[in-house]
Amino acid sequence: MTPRSTSRGRFDVWAPRPQRVRLALGDPAEVVEMVRGTDDWWAPAEPVPDVWDQDIDYGYLLDDDTTPLPDPRSRRQPDGVHGRSRTFRPDAFSWTDRGWTGRQLPGSVIYELHLGTFTPEGTLDAALGRLDHLVSIGVDFVELMPVNAFNGRHNWGYDGVLWGAVHEPYGGPEAYQRLVDGCHAAGLGVIQDVVYNHLGPSGNYLPRFGPYLSSEGANTWGDHLNLDGAGAAEVRRYILDNVRMWLADYHVDALRLDAVHALSDSSPTHLLEEMAVEAAALSAHQRRPLTLIAESDLNDPRLVTPREARGYGLDAQWSDDFHHAVHVALTRETSGYYADFEPLSALAKVCERGFFHDGTYSSFRGRDHGAPIATDVMPTWRLVVCNQNHDQIGNRARGDRLTEVLDDHQLGCAAMLTLAGPFTPMLFMGEEWAASTPFQFFTSHPEPELGRATAEGRIKEFERMGWDPAVVPDPQDPATFERSKLDWDEVGRGRHARLLEAYRRLAHLRRTRPELTDPAFGSVSCAVDEASRSFVMRRGALTMAVNFGDAPATLPVDAAAGLLFTTGDGVDLEDGVLSLPPHAGALVAPA
């Protein structure tokens, strides 16, 4: 296990690579020599002023540098990732959530949002004004896409380089504390999306200080972190201290761990298991649930298997297979990685067994993929599922939502399958009212060459999916960002209002029907008719029926059953026969 960091001075810095380190403190900057310890941590050679209650800018001069570099553990970057850091005292905030006991993931609904496009203002404080809306649709957790500092003004957040600093245009660290405090006051937990598998392309000065990067090179998105080479103990501690920062200093309830399959770690104890140990210890101390959710492309149950059973001990993981099966069933799109999910039996398998690819051949990957879930012991809530998310919308050529291609019945079916299905549902901002705005991939790299490389890389990514590169918007065009902002004026109009009411109805059913939060895989059974494209899922006494076909369908149900939910007009139940128009669905229960 990686040892916990000992108490350090405010301006101490780990820097094994430079031969000389100086602290540039204040404005005008006073330059203070630093001395190296035997552990390669540097400390000021003379006492520095007590700055705990002041906003003071500072940075480090390495070797013969004349321009200070930001603190690798910076909490504020008021002038961007290339500027000096600014002191910030996290315990100065007046929290009002002392009675907050947290939220358990089982039975909960997650709502993913991007701060820059969730509101017109694109700030943490503006998001506070929309919490009542989230409560009204039964949300339990707000999941924020990454907020750490990156170069430029707007970005998805996955190009971050200073993991401890909250992006200043969003409002900075104190505004972040205000949002978390406000969420807790509204009964909402907060999940923070964090990225530990790579560093962004601009403003990454960590290699100047020490061996933060792996010698094995980069993954798809950026440079690998050094998790198992020389100096890796301090790099791992750097990451684990960041985990503790979000959970302790910012009162966050859960972390979504980005693309854990890209973590290259051959250590005896994997970094993910160390994270689980840290979170569990902190949870016991704070007496509230602290949850770790992995995004993984591996379909590997070991991630969420308890440590006692030799797993990594994470709490949950995303399941893309559910998304793919629902998407194909509704849209008939079978290009790229959707190809294997064409039969409705794929959706049935996902609902009954968690993964579709559980050791089966993946035509997209050209090999067998995944491993089976022990459905007799693993609860269904450990899989987080969605019918839309930032990846599955934003990584399409045009960033188009399901709203563009599905009718109201089909959108209702997508909502029903997600919210009334067996797993932990996650909504993506605006889906609950069929938002017409796209969510496109946008960047604001100040470096022209980086902007060009990003745009060219996007086009190349879409080749395997068969999408037309001519329709891919320029990520660097400010209009791409502006188009992606939600239009809140839509909420009360037409189809938007109708779908919003459907989401509220489904949220009510989740809260009042225990069958919809039953965590046992054994309580789920599905039947499909490929010819008529009808799908039936039974969850205890409840029956979910969906007609994915283009012709009306009739299905026998319990003669004493009644309708709990329908996706719109035309659904009828009489004498034990459920009549569904094309693309429609219903939830049925004994009267």
Token pair in block for residue 553: 């369908």
Residue 410 labelled as part of a binding site: no
According to DSSP, the β-strands at 561-566 and 553-556 are: unpaired
Instruction: Kindly list the structural domains of the chain, giving each domain's residue range(s) and its CATH number in brackets, ordered by start.
Output: 13-92 (2.60.40.10), 110-509 (3.20.20.80), 523-590 (2.60.40.1180)
pTM (2 d.p.): 0.96
Instruction: Please name the amino acid found at residue 283.
Output: S
50 catalytic? Reply is: no
pLDDT by residue for the chain (591 residues), tens only, comes to: 444 445 688 899 999 999 999 999 998 889 999 999 999 999 999 988 766 567 899 999 999 999 999 999 999 999 999 999 999 999 999 999 999 999 999 999 999 999 999 999 999 999 999 999 999 999 999 999 999 999 999 999 999 999 999 999 999 999 999 999 999 999 999 999 999 999 998 999 999 999 999 877 666 677 889 999 999 999 999 999 999 999 999 999 999 999 999 999 999 999 999 999 999 999 999 999 999 999 999 999 999 999 999 999 999 999 999 999 999 999 999 998 999 999 999 999 999 999 999 999 999 999 999 999 999 999 999 999 999 999 999 989 899 999 999 999 999 999 999 999 999 999 999 999 999 999 999 999 999 888 888 877 777 777 666 677 778 899 999 999 999 999 999 998 999 999 999 999 999 999 999 999 999 999 999 999 999 999 999 999 999 999 999 999 999 988 778 999 999 999 999 988 999 999 999 999 987
Marked catalytic residue, from 71, 193, 228, 258: 258
**C-beta atoms surrounding 475 within 10 Å:** 20
Residues found in the chain: 591
Check residue 8 and give its pLDDT.
85
Residue 257 labelled as part of a binding site: yes
Rounded Cα–Cα distance for residues 514 and 510 (Å): 7
> Helix count (H) and strand count (E) of the chain?
14, 28
Token pair in block for residue 265: 């770690």
Residue 323 labelled as part of a binding site: yes
Residue 348 labelled as part of a binding site: no
Rounded Cα–Cα distance for residues 554 and 261 (Å): 44
Per DSSP (E only), the strands in 137-262 are: 141-144, 148-149, 162-166, 189-194, 213-218, 223-225, 254-257
Rounded Cα–Cα distance for residues 225 and 205 (Å): 13
Residue 167 labelled as part of a binding site: no
Token pair in block for residue 451: 């902007």
Check residue 284 and give its pLDDT.
97
Q: Supply angle C-alpha 587, 341, 323, rounded to 5.
A: 55
According to DSSP, the β-strands at 424-428 and 110-113 are: parallel
Residue 392 labelled as part of a binding site: yes
Rounded Cα–Cα distance for residues 33 and 31 (Å): 7
Rounded Cα–Cα distance for residues 397 and 405 (Å): 14
Rounded Cα–Cα distance for residues 491 and 485 (Å): 14
Residue 496 labelled as part of a binding site: no
Contact yes or no for 222/258 (Cβ under 8 A): no
Check residue 4 and give its pLDDT.
47
Rounded Cα–Cα distance for residues 140 and 103 (Å): 7
C-alpha neighbours within 13 Å on the C-beta side of residue 347: 30
Check residue 6 and give its pLDDT.
53
3-class state of residue 316 by DSSP: strand
Residue 259 labelled as part of a binding site: yes
Residue 219 labelled as part of a binding site: no
Contact yes or no for 20/62 (Cβ under 8 A): yes
Of 22, 15, 104, 113, nearest to 60 by C-alpha is 22
Residue 256 labelled as part of a binding site: yes
Residue 258 labelled as part of a binding site: yes
258 catalytic? Reply is: yes
CA distances, 295 to each of 51, 63, 195, 387 (Å): 39, 40, 10, 15
Marked catalytic residue, from 181, 193, 295, 432: 295
Both ends of the chain: CA-CA distance in Å?
56
Check residue 52 and give its pLDDT.
59
Check residue 1 and give its pLDDT.
44
C-alpha neighbours within 13 Å on the C-beta side of residue 359: 5
Owner of token pair 């392309």: 201
